[in-house]
Amino acid sequence: MKQFLLIFLGGGIGSFLRYIISKSLNTYYPNFYLGTFLVNILGCFIIGILIGISIKNNYLSENLILFLATGFCGGFTTFSTFALESHILFKEHSILYMSVYLGLSIIIGILAIALGLYICKLL
């Protein structure tokens, strides 16, 4: 039961922060959804760091991984919103914006995870 509570609390905090960031930045950049993009990239970087720390020195407990990786990062990042916004750009015939948004999100997301893992190797 404790593990469910940790995931629930982490997810709530992550979702709250995602909402604030997305609401703030998506208003200024309506054709790119900068807020969603940034939370997804930041979430990838954070999970790369968490997994890197866990792999390198087994420093993080299972409960902390559940709270931070599964809960916080799971609530903070959002594939469903990313997919919806891509669909909206497609329906608005903004194929160029949609392509850039999709491409950058996937490529930079993977690179952010790799960067997080690489930083942990250096420490």
What is the pLDDT of the chain when averaged over all its residues? 93
pLDDT at res. 70: 93
Q: What confidence score (pLDDT) does residue 58 get?
A: 81
For range 93-103, the mean pLDDT: 95
Angle at which helices 34-57 and 95-122 pack, to 10 degrees? 20
For residue 123, what pLDDT is reported? 84
- 102 contact partners, CB below 8 Å, separation of at least 6: 86
Pair of tokens at residue 36: 């969603």
C-alpha 76/C-alpha 69 separation (Å) is 10
The one-letter amino acid code at 46 reads I
**Domain count across the chain:** 1
Give the residue numbers spanning the domain of 67: 2-24+33-122
Distance CA 121, CA 96 (A): 37
| pLDDT at 95 exceeding the cut of 80 | yes
Q: In terms of Cα–Cα distance, which of 112, 119, 116 is closest to 40?
A: 112
Q: What is the per-residue pLDDT for 35?
A: 94
Report, as an integer, the average pLDDT of 15-25.
94
pLDDT reported for residue 57: 82
For the segment 48-83, what is each residue's pLDDT rounded down to a tens digit?
Answer: 999 999 888 887 889 999 999 999 999 999 999 999
Q: Give the CA angle between residues 80, 77, 34 to the nearest 5°.
A: 85
| pLDDT tens for each residue of 27-39 | 887 789 999 999 9
35 assigned ligand-binding residue:
no
pLDDT at 27: 82
pLDDT score, position 41 = 97
